[in-house]
A and B are shown apart, each in its own frame.
Chain A
């Protein structure tokens, strides 16, 4: 084959590839437009359904996010020790009591961690600036939505654990402050260690809202407006898997917050 023939052949290949690209681009654009149009129709339909049920729903507030995969977490006592060391100092005596109970003690106090991720730490944990200690703990160990309820020299604070950027609704931490000192911290801390991820759940926000509407009809609960829809995790526990994070849609309403499990579709009130 001469150079000229080779060059012509390449030009033909380029032309064919260019045409294939144009075809695929047009197909993709058409599908995206169709999908957007279907989403829009679905949102409008959903808003109408909610209106008929006497509930206000903002169609623009329905997210198009994809739920994350469920996570099965594995116990990590090293992570527990880090939490204990944050409040009790690094000079810790650690004991594995068996049954998943792991304890740490120091001259500042003691901590007890359990297989499901729950923990209790008591003692004189931070005397200088307890509120700052709460903030630092939350920042370091992945907690968000920190709220304080302090009056005078005492009170409490609470925060929610985040995992992979999603809040874990039933996984919180509570701080108790007495006489300007942090005296106890209790809640649940999730380890980073986990088994390989399973398949992602595919429930859309629109499906979750439909499930919620059906559940509300059956239960007869009074709701007049949906104020927010977002993805979150729900910590679940079974004998085989003490710590499993199940993806869920969190539907905030004017009378309460509901969860729709992305895998089972079960609706529960938080």
Chain B
């Protein structure tokens, strides 16, 4: 009998200990939850960390490329000179272009007069500020396109009851039909207030300029003055990003330039913010390169990932955007510029902000100029259009563009550039 009672008591004690432990744990969790804000602890635990959220680009849609847009309606044209592909304001226009590029039929060559007619027809012209492979342009708006070649300006316009795509590849012009809904193009056009923009070929006194320069004839928006600086280099982060041992002793300083050598590879970090990487060993694979054959999109995304890891947060509000992809034999050169809120920041000497040479699937050379740009409360004054055109007329064939020009100073003002 005693034995039975002992066993029962023992069982009861074990049960009570287990029960009280569980209730204590539950009460503790509840207590922490009530004490915190409304986000549950589990959510916090499962949510990706801030560091993980400042992620690497996995696709071209993660890049932000500047795009100028001209929306043409029956009674005028609307122009926006400073949009970026990942802007909310660009989402409807980008969606339309995504559908058009993704569904584009076989392109047929056409005359330049057809291109101008397309610009004059109700529709939308996208100017990506530099000539890029069509596969890259498609990727920037989330499309997968079978179009080959390169383009800078693409025009979607209404003709023959369909949405047509017209673009220029160098001096050749192409046109193809798309499956984008005509109603969507009409709705997009009618959602803009027209009458504030024109192309140079439509303006008096602009005959000397590149005919496709888009200018704002109405009131220009205010552009903030940018504070520019060259941040101190984080050598360890740069070396880690380039696959070096950050604690290596194989380093020396040469006339203000820190030089790190590892076998046939070297990194030079100059005092003016320029980082130069040379690799004779093919030891640094391009991020995301799975095989030997890299598409233009792979090249751009891979180089962007590498450059952003080297740059860190050194660019401030500026982001790198693709400027060109040039292939030669088994190597390719990918160039990038900085852009701030859809406006290009060009180097005064015309150099790209970054240039990566890829040989096979390895990085053979890299040049990055680290500059930090932050918009200030101040706004800059832009020269009125009439005076701008009068001055630009002296530069025959020049394109008139609105951009920031960085000559190494600490303050940049947006302005018209005839280049």
The residues of A that contact B180 with a CB separation of less than 8 Å are 99, 101
Query: Which B residues touch A52, using CB under 8 A?
Result: none
**Chain A nearest CB: distance from B181 CB in Å?**
7
Partner among B27, B44, B99, B140 whose Cβ is within 8 Å of the Cβ of A24: B27
Instruction: Tell whether B1 is near chain A: CB-to-CB under 8 Å.
Output: no
The CA of A66 and the CA of B48, in the complex, are separated in Å by 20
Proximity bits, A216-243, B CB within 8 Å = 1, else 0? 0000000000000000000011111010
Known: A7-B9, A28-B34. Contact between A101 and B103, CB under 8 A? yes
Q: Is A202 an interface residue (CB 8 A)?
A: yes
Contact of B98 among A7, A66, A99 (CB under 8 A): A99
B99's partner among A115, A202, A240 (CB-CB below 8 A) is A115
Of all chain B residues, the one with the shortest Cβ separation from A28 is: B31
Distance from B317 Cβ to chain A, minimum over Cβ atoms (Å): 17
Name A21's contact: one of B9, B20, B44, B95 (CB within 8 Å).
Answer: B20
Which positions 272-289 of chain B face chain A at CB distance < 8 Å? none
A24 to B86, CA, bound (A): 49
Closest to A25 in B: B27
Partner of A237, one of B14, B21, B91: B91
B95 touches A240 (CB 8 A): no
* Cβ contacts under 8 Å, A114 to chain B: 95, 99, 181, 184
Within 8 Å CB of B20, what residues of A?
14, 17-18, 20-21
A97: B residues at CB distance < 8 A: 102-103, 179
Q: Is B16 located at the chain interface by the 8 A CB criterion? A: yes
Given contacts A99-B101, A99-B102, A238-B86, contact A17 B30 (CB under 8 A): no
Nearest opposing residue in chain B for A203, CB measure: B38
Which residues of A have CB within 8 Å of B104?
A: 98-99
A17 x B102 contact (CB < 8 A): no
A35 CA / B86 CA spacing, docked (Å)? 41
Give bound CA distance, A115 to B61, whole Å.
14
Chain B: which residue is nearest A97 at the CB level?
A: B179
Indicate which residue in B10, B34, B39, B99 contacts A200 across the interface (CB closer than 8 Å).
Answer: B39
- Tell me the residues in window 93-127 of chain A with beta carbons closer than 8 Å to chain B beta carbons: 97-101, 112, 114-116, 120
User: Are B61 and A14 neighbours in the complex by a CB distance under 8 Å?
Assistant: no
Q: Which residues 181-202 in B have Cβ within 8 Å of A in the complex?
A: 181, 184
Is the CB–CB distance between A237 and B95 below 8 Å?
yes
* A125–B300 CA distance with the chains assembled, in angstroms: 47
Q: List residues of chain B with CB within 8 A of the CB of A112.
A: 181
Q: For residue B310, give the distance in angstroms from its CB to the closest CB of chain A.
A: 23
What CA separation (Å) do A237 and B179 show in the bound complex?
A: 20
Are the C-beta atoms of A24 and B38 separated by less than 8 Å? no
Q: Are B62 and A66 in contact (CB under 8 A)?
A: no
A116-B95 contact given A3-B6, A202-B39, A239-B90, CB 8 Å threshold: yes
A32 at the interface (CB under 8 A from B): yes
Whether, in the assembled complex, B142 has its beta carbon less than 8 Å from a beta carbon of chain A, the answer is yes
Q: How far is A200 from B184 in the complex, measured between Cα atoms in Å?
A: 34
Q: Which residues of B contact A100 (CB under 8 A)?
A: 98-99, 102, 142-143
Separation of A24 and B34 alpha carbons in the complex (Å): 12
A11 lies within 8 A of chain B by Cβ: yes
Known pairs A31-B35, A32-B34, A114-B181 / 5 extra A-B pairs, C-beta < 8 Å? A10-B10, A98-B145, A199-B43, A199-B47, A202-B38
Q: Could you show 10 A-B contacts with beta carbons less than 8 Å apart? A: A7-B9, A24-B27, A101-B180, A112-B181, A115-B99, A202-B39, A237-B95, A239-B85, A239-B94, A240-B59
